C-alpha cells in the first residue's frame, strides 16, 4: 500500500514538473516572429494558463496581425495551422488543418512560399455601378 502511494506521489511530481517546463517553453519568444503565410505580418503569442489538480496547463495560440492565420498548440511543440485562403492559397492547400512541429515551422519560414500578387485595393467613395 505504501509503495502505491509513493508511486502516485512521484507520478504527480513528474506531471507537475512537466507542466512547469511546458509553461516556460516560449518564455523568450516563439521560434518565428514573421508570418510564413503572408510574409508581412507579425505573429503574436497568446497564452492562457490553467491548473488541473494543481498541475499547470498552458494553452497557446499564435495569430498573424496581417492575414488572420492562426496556429493553435495541440501538444508539446506541435501546432495546428488555420491558414487564411485569401492570403496564400498555396499554403492553404498544403497546411490548413495540418499539425506541424516547431522544426517544420522553421523550415517553412526558411523556404517561404510567396503569396500571390497584391490583392485589389478598394478606394472609399468609388462604386462599381456604371
Establish if 45 belongs to a structural domain. Answer: yes
pLDDT at res. 115: 67
Q: Look at residue 123 and tell me if it is in a domain.
A: no
Q: What confidence score (pLDDT) does residue 24 get?
A: 72
Lookup result for grid cell 511546458: 22
Q: Contact at 8 Å (CB) between 22 and 58?
A: yes
Predicted structure pTM score? 0.66
Residue 116 inside a domain? The answer is no
Domain enclosing residue 8, as ranges: 2-110
Rounded to 5°, the CA angle 8-59-26 comes to 95
Q: Which ranges of the chain have pLDDT less than 70?
A: 115-123, 125-130
Q: Is residue 117 part of a domain?
A: no
Indicate the number of domains in the chain. 1
Q: What's the pLDDT at 45? A: 86
Amino acid at each position: 500500500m505504501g509503495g502505491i502511494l509513493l508511486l502516485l506521489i512521484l507520478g504527480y511530481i513528474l506531471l507537475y514538473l512537466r507542466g512547469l517546463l511546458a509553461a516556460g517553453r516560449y518564455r523568450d519568444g516563439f521560434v518565428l516572429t514573421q508570418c510564413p503565410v503572408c510574409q508581412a505580418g507579425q505573429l503574436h503569442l497568446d497564452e492562457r494558463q490553467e491548473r488541473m489538480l494543481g498541475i499547470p496547463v498552458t494553452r497557446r495560440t499564435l495569430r498573424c496581425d496581417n492575414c488572420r492565420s492562426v496556429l493553435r498548440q495541440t501538444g508539446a511543440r506541435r501546432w495546428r495551422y488555420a491558414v487564411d485562403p485569401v492570403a496564400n492559397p498555396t499554403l492553404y492547400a498544403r497546411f490548413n488543418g495540418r499539425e506541424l512541429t516547431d522544426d517544420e515551422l522553421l523550415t517553412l519560414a526558411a523556404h517561404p512560399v510567396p503569396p500571390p500578387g497584391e490583392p485589389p485595393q478598394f478606394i472609399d467613395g468609388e462604386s462599381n455601378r456604371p
